[in-house]
Amino acid sequence: MPYGNIISGMGKFNYDVFINLICLAVFILSIFIFIAPLMLNLGAVGLAANQLVMNFTKNGLYLHFAKKLGQVHIKSNNNIRHIIIIAWTILAYFISIYLKKFIPLWWLLMIPIYFITLYLILNLTGFMKKEHWKLLLDTLNFKKTLKYAYNEIKG
């Protein structure tokens, strides 16, 4: 995350150590909550949830301290876009749990519906601009993506 580079570049390594110690404590706590048989007992899903909690914690702390120390300005449009994506992803998760009961190959149905509706929501709210569509279509163009990867490896 580039915010960590801002903190390290200013020589504030004590903040980096502090962030990592907090993340260690959150990791230990969330492992017990998500995986322990007496708590949520989620198994592999608990590990994924733990990783999500860790990423949010670390990124949030880096962002907080980078804003505090280095005059970092955040575009609020990006935050709103991320909130929309997170909210739709959580809703889609619960929809997929419901679909799983009735449709055997539910993921074949859910994956395209998820992406189509997500981009439709972003487009209707104005968060999907022309340059975003161009980037998405370039990414989905397999030939262009392979050419880009080959040029990156080649140097």
CA–CA separation, 4 vs 10, rounded Å? 10
Map out the domains of the chain as residue ranges: 1-74
| 3-class DSSP string for 52-72 | HHHHHHHHHHHHHHHHHHHCC
Mean pLDDT rounded to a whole number for the chain: 87
- Amino acid sitting at position 73: H
| 3-class DSSP string for 84-152 | HHHHHHHHHHHHHHHHHHHCCCHHHHHHHHHHHHHHHHHHHCCCCCHHHHHHHHHHHCHHHHHHHHHHH
pLDDT string in tens for the chain (155-residue length) = 577 778 888 888 899 899 999 999 999 998 888 888 888 888 888 888 888 889 989 988 988 888 888 777 777 777 888 889 999 999 998 888 888 888 888 888 899 999 999 999 999 999 888 998 898 888 888 998 899 889 999 87
Would you state the pLDDT for residue 7? 82
